[in-house]
């Protein structure tokens, strides 16, 4: 820089010098900043290193040689996008965050990972958004519509990546949550490795599955093409056979009949591929599913062939019906092709994926639709024939049952399947498949029968993790009351506490785990429940919601930071918990590892139920009790468990109910799965892992048994006034489930994260647990009385200005004193 003390020789040259210097400084600054954009040098000051790749992520990146990541990032992203439940999600800075994170992985891999950004409008590949959609990266739109030609369209955006490793690939479909980038990417990297390794072992079945899929694809494309193309052609242009035909159905029939030899030849490959698929059959659920879909597809093709060649029964006599049948069959083929595609995708995606089983059938949380129909259709029709009232009730009950199934299936899909977990229903009256890697027993409210307990016992002793969530009490807080005998109508004021019929306490006792029946309350560290209230205003009744701190929703504050599940936890709200301890014998046994994963605060207390349910009364109970906390709310035990069935005859498998379901016909001979089960030997002892959580974490099971309590087909046949009352009770039960979930819905985010962590831990992805927790590191405030928070706020707002005022006054006094001394 020129020395400003040296006068410039002339005004003009001085100005020019200054201008040059300022411009040069700006230029240097721009160049240095531009160069630095390529260097990702960051210091993460957060306590848990939330923004730094963990060791597990680094080693995952280093383990995949020649991994190619293709990032699809729209050039101009909107500022916000609408969220499904209302509200908007800000996308500010998201692009840079995603690029930075991907580049961090590239750097961490030491040159093993290559990152490519999809370029806009490269010749023949289309826009970034089009390329993204072709690569199965999920497109999303903003709330601003744009004019495209004559129509208004929402612009589509992409923010995701595909990961290709040798012969396998995975997709990060929508990268909109920077907090979870590391979790999602590392999960994909770990999955790629597992998938590739497992795919090497399953090369043959996968190749056979692919051959079946390719054969069906070729057949379907040919049939759909022939049917469609001829339909769109002008009359007469399709050849001699179509001249004079105007009916599109007839046209399709004629065109397909003309191509019947081609179709027979192409579609004939399906049978060849299916019969050659010896390595696929009975090996996995997905292989069997693909074969089953292929079989169904083939039977439709065969039927089509019969109609086209005129060999089908009545085809020649009734040409109109034959035309309609062909139209129907081609459309069915297309539908079944989608099924085959899905089954094939599941098969190719299955290698290395671990299956988590959910025990069902005891009114527990079971995120699947029931496998058995509620009431066989014919029976339902017969029952309503003479009594329209009963017909209506039957329809309503069936509707409730359908809603339950749909809700459960949706929960399973949204909470687990869409997040990449492979979950499977485990029926207690059947042996547990060897494909299941971990078993979740989620808050059963009915006793587990002996055979189920036996299955669970052997599963645990086989060394596979069993996770039990307990729900010993049902808490109905301002629920819908069923109509009573006094003729009172349904009301929203029913509060009660009742014991569930669970025998989990007895089951766990056999493994040295003491599940307490007393409820755990807290007076200080609690979360709120949202309670619906009916308010009278101006003669009208309104429904409102109010938050109440609830002693039965203690916030756990003590965690074992050596266990992967609780390593990064700071707090966790645990609705309606009891508590769990190791028995003194287990505690003394050095062969067992016992970890108190989650504990309530020191101000918590254990109280025998039932207790008052309404918040103020319950608070009184909690306040009056002398604190006895902390109490263990989640306990982990690992060690050589002994079978509860040692020295006893194993319980017999219950007889399978006969169903008329054509999709699940009874088997003539035992399947390979049955044969595998028959070979299993009884284990008297085995190293197992057991995690017991003394709460349902606010997720109550929705089951037919619990909602449609007392439903019996026989009872329904004798219609009476009680039937009507029963119907109202079922309706209330269903609504009460929604009310109870709604009361703790604000806590479900944290609790679902914990459940996801449990599932990752159970499938040996412990590193993911820690990484996920980093992305969702909530640090809630402790429970404070309104006065305390008011004082804290007032204090901190006044403290600063007071401090400044005091400093100013002191300085003024000091200056005055100094000035006075100078005067003297």
Residues that bind other proteins (CB under 8 A): 1, 3-5, 7-8, 11, 14-15, 18, 21-22, 25-26, 29, 32-34, 36-37, 39-48, 50-51, 75-76, 92-93, 95-96, 570, 777-782, 784, 789, 792-793, 795-797, 799-801, 803-805, 808, 811, 815
Cβ proximity to other proteins: between 50 and 190 the closer is 50
Which DSSP symbol is given to 412?
A: I
Separation of first and last alpha carbons in the chain:
47
Q: Least distance to other proteins from the beta carbon of 595, Å?
A: 23
Closest to other proteins by CB, 19 vs 134, is 19
Q: Using the minimum distance from each CB to other proteins, give the nearer residue, 94 or 219.
A: 94
Q: Residue 191 Cβ, how far from other proteins at the closest point, in Å?
A: 27
**What span, in angstroms and rounded, lies between the C-alpha atoms of 203 and 209?**
10
Q: In angstroms, what is the minimal distance from the CB of 117 to other proteins? A: 11
Dist. CA 166–CA 150, nearest whole Å: 45
Of 32 and 678, the one with the shorter C-beta distance to other proteins is 32
Identify which of residues 29 and 534 has a Cβ nearer to other proteins in the complex: 29
3-state secondary structure of 287: helix
Structure tokens at 63: 């383990």
CB atoms within 10 A of CB 780: 13
CB atoms within 10 A of CB 736: 23
List C-alpha distances in Å: 15 to 10, 12, 23, 359, 390: 9, 5, 12, 83, 98
- Partnered with residue 156 across adjacent β-strands are 141
Give the residue with the Cβ less far from other proteins, 670 or 780.
780
Give just the sign of the alpha carbon dihedral 307, 309, 314, 317: positive
C-alpha distances out from residue 613 to 469, 471, 502, Å: 22, 16, 21
Shortest reach from residue 127's CB to other proteins, in Å: 12
CA distances from 266 to 207, 220, 302, 325 (A): 19, 9, 12, 21
Buried b (16+ CB within 10 A) or exposed e, 499-511: ebebbbbebbeeb
CB of 3 to other proteins, least distance (A): 6
Nearer to other proteins, 134 or 798 (CB): 798
Decide: 561 and 535 in contact? Cβ < 8 Å: no
Q: What angle do CA 460, 463, 464 make, to 5 degrees?
A: 70
CA contacts within 13 A on the Cβ side of 82: 11
Q: How far is the CB of 96 from other proteins (least distance, A)?
A: 7
CB of 777 to other proteins, least distance (A): 7
767/564 Cα distance (integer angstroms): 8
CB 595 within 8 A of CB 544: no
Angle at the Cα of 235 from the Cα atoms of 230 and 241, rounded to 5 degrees: 70
Q: Which residue number, 95 or 450, has a Cβ lying nearer to other proteins?
A: 95
User: Is the Cβ of residue 419 or residue 816 nearer to other proteins in the bound state?
Assistant: 816
| Shortest CB 749 distance to other proteins, Å | 13
Instruction: Give the nearest distance from C-beta 58 to other proteins in angstroms.
Output: 18
Q: Are 364 and 704 in contact (CB under 8 A)?
A: no
Residue appearing with tokens 């599941």: 346
Distance CA 140, CA 146 (A): 14
Q: Which two tokens stand for residue 354?
A: 């671990």
- For other proteins, which is the closer residue by CB, 188 or 531? 531
For residue 422, give both structure tokens: 């492979």
CA–CA separation, 531 vs 547, rounded Å?
Answer: 6
Q: Are 603 and 583 in contact (CB under 8 A)?
A: no
Nearer to other proteins, 34 or 486 (CB): 34
What secondary structure letter does DSSP report for 147?
A: E
Residue closer to other proteins (CB basis): 272 or 778: 778
In the complex, the smallest distance separating the C-beta of residue 396 from other proteins, rounded to whole angstroms, is: 39
Smallest separation (angstroms) from other proteins to the CB of 304: 51
User: Of 83 and 781, which CB lies nearer to other proteins in the complex structure?
Assistant: 781
Return the closest-CA partner of residue 264 out of 218, 232, 233. Answer: 218
> What DSSP string runs through 644-662?
TTTTSPPPPPPPPPP---T
Residue 779 C-beta: closest distance to other proteins, Å? 4
Least distance from C-beta 30 to other proteins, angstroms? Answer: 8
Would you give the DSSP letter of residue 315?
T
Query: In whole angstroms, how close is the CB of 92 to other proteins at the nearest point?
Result: 8
The residue (of 166 and 746) whose beta carbon lies closer to other proteins is 746
Q: CB burial class (10 A; 0-12, 13-18, 19+) of residue 299?
A: exposed
* Minimum gap (Å) between residue 16 Cβ and other proteins: 10
Cα distance between residue 302 and residue 299, in whole Å: 5
Smallest gap, in angstroms, from Cβ of residue 525 to other proteins? Answer: 12
Task: Rank residues 301 and 771 by Cβ distance to other proteins and give the closer one.
Answer: 771
Q: Which is nearer to other proteins, 473 or 754 (CB)?
A: 754
The bridge status of strand 685-693 relative to strand 466-469 is: parallel
- Give the integer Cα–Cα distance in Å for 563 and 689: 13
Contacts of 214 (CB under 8 A, 6+ apart): 273
CB of 784 to other proteins, least distance (A): 6
Which CB atom, from 110 or from 808, has the smaller least distance to other proteins?
A: 808
Q: How far is the CB of 93 from other proteins (least distance, A)?
A: 5
CB 17, CB 2: distance < 8 Å: yes
684 contacts 646 by C-beta, under 8 angstroms = yes
381 vs 804, which CB is nearer to other proteins?
Answer: 804
Give Cα separations from 492 to 396, 535, 737 (angstroms): 21, 11, 13
């Amino acid at each position: 820089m020129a020395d400003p003390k040296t006068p410039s020789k002339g005004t003009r040259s001085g100005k020019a010098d200054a201008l040059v210097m300022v411009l040069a400084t700006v230029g240097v600054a721009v160049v240095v900043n531009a160069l630095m954009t390529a260097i990702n040098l960051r210091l993460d000051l957060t306590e848990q290193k939330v923004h730094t790749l963990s060791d597990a992520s680094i080693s995952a990146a280093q383990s995949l040689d020649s991994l190619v990541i293709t990032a699809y990032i729209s050039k101009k992203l909107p500022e916000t996008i609408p969220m499904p439940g209302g509200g908007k999600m800000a996308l500010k800075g998201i692009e840079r965050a995603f690029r930075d994170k991907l580049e961090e992985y590239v750097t961490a891999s030491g040159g093993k990972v290559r990152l490519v950004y999809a370029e806009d409008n490269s010749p023949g590949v289309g826009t970034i958004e089009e390329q993204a959609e072709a690569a199965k990266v999920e497109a999303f739109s903003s709330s601003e519509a744009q004019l495209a030609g004559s129509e208004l369209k929402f612009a589509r955006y992409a923010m995701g990546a595909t990961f290709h490793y040798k012969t396998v690939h995975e997709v990060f479909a929508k990268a909109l949550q920077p907090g979870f980038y590391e979790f999602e990417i590392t999960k994909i990297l770990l999955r790629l490795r597992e998938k590739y390794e497992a795919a090497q072992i399953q090369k043959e079945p996968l190749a056979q599955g692919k051959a079946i899929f390719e054969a069906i694809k070729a057949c379907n494309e040919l049939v759909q093409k022939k049917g469609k193309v001829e339909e769109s052609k002008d009359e007469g242009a399709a050849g001699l056979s179509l001249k004079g035909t105007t009916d599109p159905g007839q046209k399709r029939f004629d065109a397909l009949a003309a191509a019947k030899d081609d179709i027979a030849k192409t579609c004939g490959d399906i049978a060849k591929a299916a019969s050659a698929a010896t390595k696929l059959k009975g090996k996995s659920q997905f292989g069997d599913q693909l074969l089953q879909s292929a079989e169904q597809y083939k039977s439709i093709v065969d039927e089509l062939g019969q109609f086209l060649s005129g060999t089908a029964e009545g085809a020649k006599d009734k040409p109109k019906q034959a035309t309609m049948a062909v139209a129907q069959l081609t459309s069915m083929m297309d539908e079944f092709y989608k099924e085959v595609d899905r089954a094939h995708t599941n098969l190719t995606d299955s290698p290395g994926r671990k299956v988590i089983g959910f025990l069902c059938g005891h009114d527990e949380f079971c995120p699947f639709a029931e496998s058995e129909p509620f009431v066989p259709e014919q029976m339902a029709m017969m029952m309503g024939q003479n009594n329209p009232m009963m017909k209506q009730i039957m329809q309503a009950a069936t509707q409730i049952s359908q809603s339950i199934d749909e809700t459960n299936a949706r929960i399973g899909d949204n909470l687990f399947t869409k997040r990449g977990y492979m979950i499977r229903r485990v029926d207690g009256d059947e042996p547990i498949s060897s494909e299941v890697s971990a078993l979740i027993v989620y808050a059963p409210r009915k006793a587990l029968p002996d055979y189920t307990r036996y299955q669970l016992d052997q599963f645990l002793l086989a060394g596979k993790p069993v996770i039990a969530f307990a729900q010993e009490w049902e808490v109905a807080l301002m629920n819908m009351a069923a109509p009573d005998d006094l003729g009172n109508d349904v009301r929203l004021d029913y509060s009660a506490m009742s014991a569930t019929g669970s025998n989990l306490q007895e089951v766990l006792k056999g493994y040295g785990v003491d599940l307490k029946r007393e409820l755990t309350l807290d007076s200080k560290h609690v979360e709120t429940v949202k309670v619906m209230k009916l308010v009278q205003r101006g003669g009208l009744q309104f429904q409102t919601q109010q938050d109440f701190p609830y002693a039965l929703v203690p916030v756990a504050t003590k965690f074992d930071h050596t266990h992967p599940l609780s390593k990064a936890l700071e707090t966790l709200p645990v609705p309606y918990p009891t508590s769990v301890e190791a028995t003194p014998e287990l505690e003394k046994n050095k062969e067992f590892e016992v970890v108190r994963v989650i504990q309530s605060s020191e101000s918590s207390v254990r109280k025998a139920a039932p207790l008052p349910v309404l918040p103020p009364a319950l608070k009184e109970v909690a306040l009056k009790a002398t604190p006895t906390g902390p109490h263990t709310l989640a306990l982990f035990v690992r060690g050589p468990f002994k079978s509860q069935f040692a020295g006893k005859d194993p319980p017999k498998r219950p007889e399978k109910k006969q169903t008329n379901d054509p999709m699940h016909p009874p088997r003539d001979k035992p399947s390979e799965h049955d044969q595998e089960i028959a070979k299993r030997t009884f284990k008297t002892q085995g190293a197992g892992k057991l995690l017991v959580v003394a709460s349902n974490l606010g997720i109550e099971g929705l089951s037919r048994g619990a909602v449609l309590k007392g439903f019996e087909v026989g009872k329904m046949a004798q219609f009476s006034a009680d039937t009507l009352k029963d119907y109202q009770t079922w309706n209330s039960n269903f609504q009460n489930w929604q009310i109870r979930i709604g009361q703790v819905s604000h806590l479900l985010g944290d609790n679902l994260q914990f459940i996801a962590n449990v599932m990752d831990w159970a499938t040996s992805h412990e590193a993911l647990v820690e990484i996920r927790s980093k992305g969702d590191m909530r640090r809630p405030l402790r429970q404070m009385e309104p006065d305390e928070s008011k004082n804290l706020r007032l204090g901190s707002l006044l403290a600063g200005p007071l401090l400044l005022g005091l400093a100013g006054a002191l300085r003024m006094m000091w200056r005055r004193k100094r000035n006075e001394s100078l005067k003297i």
